[in-house]
Amino acid sequence: SVWVVGIDQTGEIPYNQVDFKLPTAIVVGSEGKGLSDLVKKRCDSLASIPMTGIITSLNASIAAALVMYEAFRQRGW
């Protein structure tokens, strides 16, 4: 089976604390709207990208790149 991790500002765990060694699908929402409530409910876990300063969110492609980099790093790629 595949673990579904949604990336959202409301996520309870930082993305770098998610175990990406398991088969994982990463879901990133659209810019501006983020993940829909339905998608959030379907995810096994919601993870956030911790932000500091005045910036509260990232471009969707940048967020996806950060999370995928972490997944590859954990897998030793």
Q: What is the domain range of residue 8? A: 3-74
The pTM score is 0.89
> 1: number of CA atoms within 13 Å, CB side?
4
- Could you read off the pLDDT of 17-36 as tens digits, one per residue? 999 999 999 999 988 889 99
CATH code of 13's domain: 3.40.1280.10
Residue 24: beta bridge partners? 3
Tens place of pLDDT for every residue, the chain, 77 residues? 999 999 999 999 999 999 999 999 999 998 888 999 999 999 999 999 999 889 878 899 999 999 999 999 999 98
What's the total number of domains in the chain?
A: 1
Complete DSSP assignment for the chain: --EEEEE-TT-SEEGGGS-TTS-EEEEE-BTTTBS-HHHHHH-SEEEE----TT-----HHHHHHHHHHHHHHHTT-
